[in-house]
Amino acid sequence: MMRFLLISFLVFVTSSCALKTTKGLQTTEISEATVVNPYFSDTAVDYVYKAKIAVYGNNFGGIVIIKKVGVNKHRVVFTTEFGSKIFDFLFEGDQFTKNFILEDLDKKILVNTLRKDFKLLLTETMPVQEQFVSDDYKVYKSVAENRYNFYFFTNPQGQLQKIVNTSKSKEKVVVLVTPLVSETLSEAKMIADKIAINHQNIKLSITMDYFKKN
């Protein structure tokens, strides 16, 4: 009996340690020194999205506006549908500035979560630490703030479709991206049409839809 418990305990520990992100992927030689996130990289584009936030059963809507305003510098503004600002953040490399946030929402844990989520979404280049491959994807792993980011590019088209932020053993945040369907492949690679930021350890998800004229 004791031995059975021990074995099941060991099985539990080892299986929970295995990160599911890399399941089914094969390690391969590093071919790129840096991984590049192409979305939000054009200073000439106003990236405007209808956003929905679901947090512990509550739903909020609004508009997310992202603008690259300089090298490694992004402004992120969230407003209500009526246009009044909910928050206004500036990301510059590792620097973060809170220009504005509604007083009622100015909670450290919330601001931190939003900061990390948008940093994950906006960071343009990361040094590659490991590289993986499968039939469908090329995957690049990088280190970020005591965690890891995995970038999934379709194989062979090279569209960035998924970013997974993990600890050593667990997925924390999964970002799913549907690129814009476009005549030109370059635009399809550059513009994220639909974005879903799904937290795995808390009940928080943010979905974003790119503004297209009817």
Partner 1 sequence: MRKYLFILVLVCSSVLFGQEVTMNASEIIAFKKQVQTTASATKTITSDFVQYKHLDFLDNDIETSGKLVFKSPDLVKWEYTNPYQYTVVFKEDQLLINDGGTKSNVDIGSSKLFKKLSELIVNSVKGTLFDTADFDVSYLKTNGENKVIFTPKDKKMAGYIASFELLFTKEDATVTEVKMVEPSEDFTRIVFTNRIVNSNVNDAVFTN
Q: Does 23 bind partner 1 (CB under 8 A)?
A: no
DSSP string for 104-144: GG--HHHHHHHHHHHHHHH--EEE-SEEEE-SSEEEEEEEE
* CA neighbours closer than 13 Å in the CB half-sphere of residue 177: 26
Which of 85, 147, 170, 172 binds partner 1 (CB under 8 A)? It is: 85
From the list 72-80, 115-123, 143-151, 184-192, the region that binds partner 1 by CB under 8 A is: 72-80
Nearest-angstrom CA–CA distance, 55 and 33: 37
67 sits near partner 1 (criterion: CB under 8 A)? yes
User: Shortest distance, CB of residue 90 to partner 1, whole angstroms?
Assistant: 10
Say if CB 36 and CB 186 are below 8 A apart: no
Q: Closer CB to partner 1, residue 12 or residue 211?
A: 211
d(CA 197, CA 3): 42
> Does 214 interact with partner 1 (rule: CB under 8 A)?
yes
Q: Is 41 in the site for partner 1 (CB under 8 A)?
A: no
> Applying CB under 8 A, which residues contact partner 1?
44, 46, 48, 50, 52, 58-59, 61, 63, 65, 67, 69, 75, 77, 79, 81-85, 88, 100, 102-103, 209, 211-214
